[in-house]
């Protein structure tokens, strides 16, 4: 038996599916979201482990994402990190930060191993340009692998090895800086312009707040879609569902299987969460290893968001690229070197492996891919836009608009 229970069926209640549903309901259309798991958020969810808040991989929200502003940023009690980083090198930890947030951060910039005065000047000129240029100019520029684009501007060596690569590898989830130069520039721009933080109760608070804006009952959980056709889907252990259109907002790999579209390469990351008796720093700032060690970044979550811990212990999130954690002894010694403290008393709370964390967006890629596949069949998700919260949200709105415009 088939039933037509909505104008549009949306597959997946991640950010893209939620954005699609919000746009369509705002336009007065009825929507049913079919979500395989037991809650909204997809790759952006938080769990409670022994009272600690553990996000499904370390990630942050940036208030400069235009699509969040467009949607109306929910009140998430955002707990901010300092705009900058602690850079670990052989001589110590250097705080390089926006002096408006951390007065000693500018001095750190002078002390950090970022190359000759001319190299520093070129780095700062580039960062200044991506901050002040209109986003449209960046989007309209020629796209290359980011490292190549930097080299063409004379930015190589120390500024890349001691700042850009350690910083961006934790954001792009790849070390080669082979990612689209336009996307990398947009990322740096949002870091310069926005506040970066986590909601007091975990990253899952954002999708939960967006889901709460939908009419009650819009999202059906535990509904795994096994096949899609224009205007129709099959649900595991259920009946076929019909609507005027279907928007597939599943994760990139499932979407490619369901739709037979391009399968993007995916970058992986693994985050280990430690409860520590006393934090290695009181600063709410990310620590980066500028000497090419195996840990991409480490951050004391509770310095920004004390509610991530149920008691006085601090919670530290440390990430490595790839789908597997480091052997424990190696991880502890890498963290001891980064922070300059012993880690023997650090207690592992959880390990979050995310083998398919971000779709690769190599240099030369379009920043937007079509969302309309055929009449009655659409696709949304960060693989249709940029691999980010911003990209996922925009793709959902674009899919909804494409359907609304075509009717
Ligand atoms: C560890 C990590 C760190 C990140 N850090 C950042 C960051 O700092 N800043 C940033 O901007 N972005 C970051 N991102 C990226 C951002 O989280 C994602 O781009 C975004 O959440 C993707 O949303 P989506 O809706 O496209 O896909 P998803 O979140 O994957 O949502 C897809 C949904 O579809 C559901 N689904 C799948 N198959 C089916 C099916 N067959 N039937 C029904 N439902 C199905 C899934 O359960 C899921 O809920 C990070 C991602 C990860 C994983």
Task: Tokens for 371, please give them.
Answer: 């969302």
Q: Are residues 389 and 260 in the same domain?
A: yes
Q: Are residues 278 and 348 in the same domain?
A: yes
What's the domain range around 246?
3-44+204-265+369-405
CA distance 193 to 63: 8
Spatial strand order of the sheet with 241-242 comes to 3-4, 241-242, 232-235, 225-229
> Cα(388) to centroid of ligand 1, in Å?
9
Q: Could you tell me if residue 107 is inside a domain?
A: no
Instruction: Report the pLDDT value the prediction gives residue 104, as an integer from 0 to 100.
Output: 65
Q: Whose CA is nearest to atom 2 of ligand 1?
A: 57
Q: Could you tell me if residue 237 is inside a domain?
A: yes
CATH code (residue 212): 3.50.50.60
Task: Tokens for 162, please give them.
Answer: 């001691």
> Cα(189) to centroid of ligand 1, in Å?
22
Instruction: Report the pLDDT value the prediction gives residue 5, as an integer from 0 to 100.
Output: 80
Q: Are residues 293 and 172 in the same domain?
A: no
- Are β-strands 372-374 and 377-379 bridged in parallel, bridged antiparallel, or unpaired? antiparallel
Q: Are residues 30 and 73 in the same domain?
A: no
CATH code (residue 312): 3.90.660.20
Q: Are residues 212 and 290 in the same domain?
A: no
Q: Could you tell me if residue 230 is inside a domain?
A: yes
Q: Are residues 280 and 326 in the same domain?
A: yes
Q: Cβ(250)–Cβ(235) under 8 Å?
A: no
β-bridge partners, 229: 232
Task: Tokens for 105, please give them.
Answer: 């951060």
CA distance 249 to 359: 14
Per-residue pLDDT of the chain (407 residues; tens, 9 = 90+): 345 789 999 999 999 999 999 999 999 999 999 999 999 999 999 999 999 999 999 999 999 999 999 999 999 999 999 999 999 998 889 898 877 776 666 666 667 778 899 999 999 999 999 999 999 999 999 999 999 999 999 999 999 999 999 999 999 999 999 999 999 999 999 999 999 999 999 999 999 999 999 999 999 999 999 999 999 999 999 889 999 999 999 999 999 999 999 999 999 999 999 999 999 999 999 999 999 899 999 999 999 999 999 999 999 999 999 999 999 999 999 999 999 999 999 999 999 999 999 999 999 999 999 999 999 999 999 999 999 999 999 999 999 999 999 87
- Greatest Cα pair distance, the chain, in angstroms, is 72
Q: Could you tell me if residue 109 is inside a domain?
A: no
Q: Are residues 238 and 380 in the same domain?
A: yes
Q: Could you tell me if residue 90 is inside a domain?
A: no
Q: Could you tell me if residue 92 is inside a domain?
A: no
Of 54, 58, 59, best ligand 1 pocket probe by most atoms within 8 Å of the beta carbon: 59
Q: Are residues 355 and 280 in the same domain?
A: yes
Q: Are residues 16 and 159 in the same domain?
A: no
Residues ≥6 apart with Cβ < 8 Å to 98 = 82, 83, 84, 105
Instruction: Report the pLDDT value the prediction gives residue 19, as an integer from 0 to 100.
Output: 98
Last residue of a domain, one of 193, 217, 247: 193
Q: Are residues 252 and 393 in the same domain?
A: yes
> Cα(367) to centroid of ligand 1, in Å?
18
Q: Is 248 in the pocket of ligand 1 (CB under 6 A)?
A: no
Q: Cβ(389)–Cβ(61) under 8 Å?
A: yes
Residues ≥6 apart with Cβ < 8 Å to 253 = 263, 266, 356
CA distance 355 to 357: 6
Phi, psi of 60 (to 5 degrees): -135, 160
Q: Whose CA is nearest to atom 30 of ligand 1?
A: 251
Instruction: Report the pLDDT value the prediction gives residue 1, as an integer from 0 to 100.
Output: 39
Q: Could you tell me if residue 318 is inside a domain?
A: yes
Counting the structural domains of the chain, the total is: 3
Q: Could you tell me if residue 343 is inside a domain?
A: yes
Q: Are residues 378 and 239 in the same domain?
A: yes
Within 10 Å of residue 313's Cβ, how many Cβ atoms? Answer: 19
Q: Are residues 259 and 272 in the same domain?
A: no
């Amino acid at each position: 038996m088939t039933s037509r229970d909505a104008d549009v069926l949306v597959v997946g209640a991640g950010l893209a599916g939620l954005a699609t549903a919000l746009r369509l309901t705002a336009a007065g259309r009825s929507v049913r979201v079919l979500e395989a798991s037991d809650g909204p958020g997809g790759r952006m969810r938080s769990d409670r482990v022994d009272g600690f808040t553990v996000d499904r991989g370390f990630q942050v929200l940036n208030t400069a994402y235009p699509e969040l502003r467009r949607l109306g940023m929910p009140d998430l009690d955002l707990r901010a990190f300092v705009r900058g980083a602690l850079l670990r090198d052989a001589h110590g930890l250097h705080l390089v930060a926006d002096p408006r947030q951390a007065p000693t951060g500018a001095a750190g910039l002078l002390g950090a191993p970022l190359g000759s005065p001319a190299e520093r000047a070129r780095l700062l000129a580039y960062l200044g340009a991506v901050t002040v240029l209109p986003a449209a100019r960046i989007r309209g520029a020629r796209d290359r692998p980011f490292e190549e684009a930097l080299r063409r501007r004379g930015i190589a060596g120390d500024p890349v090895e001691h700042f850009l690569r350690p910083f961006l590898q934790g954001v792009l989830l790849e070390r080669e800086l082979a990612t689209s130069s336009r996307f990398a520039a947009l990322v740096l721009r949002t870091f310069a312009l926005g506040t970066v933080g986590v909601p007091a109760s975990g990253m899952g608070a954002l999708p939960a707040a967006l889901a709460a804006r939908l009419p009650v009952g819009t999202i059906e959980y535990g509904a795994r879609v096994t096949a899609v056709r224009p205007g129709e889907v099959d649900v595991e252990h259920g009946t076929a569902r019909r609507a005027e259109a279907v928007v597939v907002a599943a994760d990139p790999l499932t979407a490619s299987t369901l739709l037979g579209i391009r399968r993007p390469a995916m970058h992986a990351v693994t985050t280990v969460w430690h409860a520590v008796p006393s934090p290695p720093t009181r600063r709410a700032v990310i620590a980066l290893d500028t000497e090419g060690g195996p840990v991409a970044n480490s951050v004391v979550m509770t310095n920004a968001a004390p509610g991530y811990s149920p008691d006085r212990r601090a919670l530290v999130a440390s990430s490595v690229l790839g789908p597997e954690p480091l052997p424990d002894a190696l991880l502890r010694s890498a963290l001891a070197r980064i922070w300059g403290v012993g880690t023997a008393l650090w207690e592992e709370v959880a390990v979050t492996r995310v083998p398919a964390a971000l779709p690769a967006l190599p240099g030369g890629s379009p920043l937007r891919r079509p969302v309309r596949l055929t009449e009655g069949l659409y696709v949304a998700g960060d693989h249709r836009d940029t691999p980010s919260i911003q990209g996922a949200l925009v793709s959902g709105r674009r899919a909804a608009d494409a359907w609304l415009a075509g009717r």
